[in-house]
Amino acid sequence: MTFESFIPPRSKKVLEVTGKADKNFQTTEENFLAIQPECQYFVAKSFEETTDKFDTILLQSSYIGNLNQAELVELIKKSAAQLEKRGMLIFVLENIGFSENIHALLEGQPLKYKITLSKGELEQAIIAAGLNLGRTMHIGVKMNLPQHLTDNSKTDLSTVAYIVKATPEPLPPKTLLQYQIGESLVCAPTRIHIPTSFLMAESNIFTNSVPSGGAIKIFSKEFENKVLINQRTSYTDIQEGKKLFEVMVETGYLLIFEIDDHPVRWEQAYQSTGYLNFVGVHAIQTSTKYLADYLRQFNPQVKFFANHLRRLLPPRNFAEESKQNRPVTIFFGALNRDEEFQELLPVLNHFAHLYGEKILFKILARPKHFHALQTDKKIFLGDPNHFEGQYIPYDRYEEELKTSDIALLPLQDNQFNRAKSDLKFIECGNCGVAALASPVVYSDVVKDSVNGFIFHNLNE
């Protein structure tokens, strides 16, 4: 088990102290460096005072789990002295009350976790050391437990480990990020869920989300800062929308509208409510400079946050792949590019006929594109019984892209496409795939024949 999702991604210098970990122990180093490759990550068996300062110090259960209270308080003080400003201590503490531990004890078997420290004792030591105790999180497994066992237990039987955070500096204001999700399958993971998971690694940030049309719970005094991010939704009733916004502003909310596609495709819906989502909020966030410039006609407060990778994948071993003598795999996976695919279809069918078994096509999410390819050397990516085959989870998308050779990134030159981001090209680079792209959007990032290929017409 590794703990990269609990380390703030801004951390550029991290120390992980493992103690006498067992032979199967895996440090968090590799997985965190995939998120933050600029980090200097150090792993040590014990903590020794150094002149180094760290953004985050991760103390493993195998190091702290059997310290007495005095030893633990002293260790916490020394660790805190080695933190940078805004630094954080993260404690991983295995749960001695985990059901497998209790079962082993009752059966006379070796304990899964050979520790003596409890969560409460750790939290007391943090306070005694003069630090500010952050939120304690549980890493658990789903279990079917009799209700009387759950009620009578003083610990969480399904909790494998606790993550306890502490800071020398006062905790930041308690902040709530609420989301109203308009498009949950494709856009929300990249624009909402992944960034939120990174934010949740910081102290005192809480989240809540509802689908479009769902009731938004309005918090009044529970949080010092409150933000509502309305993601790609439009209200059917302008008066209802205005009333909601007014109540939320009166309650102290900051209102943000998130959109990462050109609104021209849904212009009628937005016009019918006087562009309330744009003009009735404090600010708009978006994905490209092109979109930001367009959106400022509705609201001067616009910030664009470019789409990024959530992690770097391990590099491909092309020398080994070449020995497999497999066909060249061409990948097409995109929404809202149906006309572009139809334009390419005669060329793709020509090459399918010309090269036969030497080419394999992977087509994602569009059954009609798949059936239009005149070859049996093709794979459809998508479950027809799941959203009519129009969607696959991002993890699978990434895996299928990484096992391809060439990705087709066609975009016709129109207002909607010019507002798109270069995320698909970035994903191709991450997956070691050659991008064959239109000049629209991609000419700004693709250096032709260097890190990809630009085609201006079907002959090219």
Digit-coded pLDDT (tens) for 378-393: 999 987 776 667 788 8
This prediction's pTM: 0.88
pLDDT of the residue at 393: 83
* Inter-residue contact 361 to 405 (CB < 8 Å): no
CA distance 179 to 188: 10
pLDDT of the residue at 120: 93
Tokens of 107: 């059966």
pLDDT of the residue at 51: 79
Q: What are 454's strand-pairing partners?
A: 437
CA distance 57 to 90: 6
pLDDT of the residue at 152: 44
pLDDT of the residue at 417: 95
CA distance 49 to 106: 41
Over its C-alpha atoms, the chain yields an Rg (Å, rounded) of 26
pLDDT of the residue at 155: 53
Q: What are 438's strand-pairing partners?
A: none
pLDDT of the residue at 319: 92
CA distance 394 to 307: 15
10 Å CB burial of residue 230 (0-12, 13-18, 19+) is: buried
Helices within 108-237 (DSSP H only): 119-128, 147-152, 187-188, 194-199
CA distance 332 to 328: 13
CB atoms within 10 A of CB 237: 11
pLDDT digits (tens, 9 = 90+) for 181-204: 988 878 888 889 889 999 999 999
Q: Which residues contact residue 378 at a Cβ distance below 8 angstroms, ignoring those fewer than 6 apart?
A: 360, 361, 362, 363, 370
Tokens of 293: 């410039």
Write out residues in the chain with pLDDT < 50, as ranges: 145, 148-154
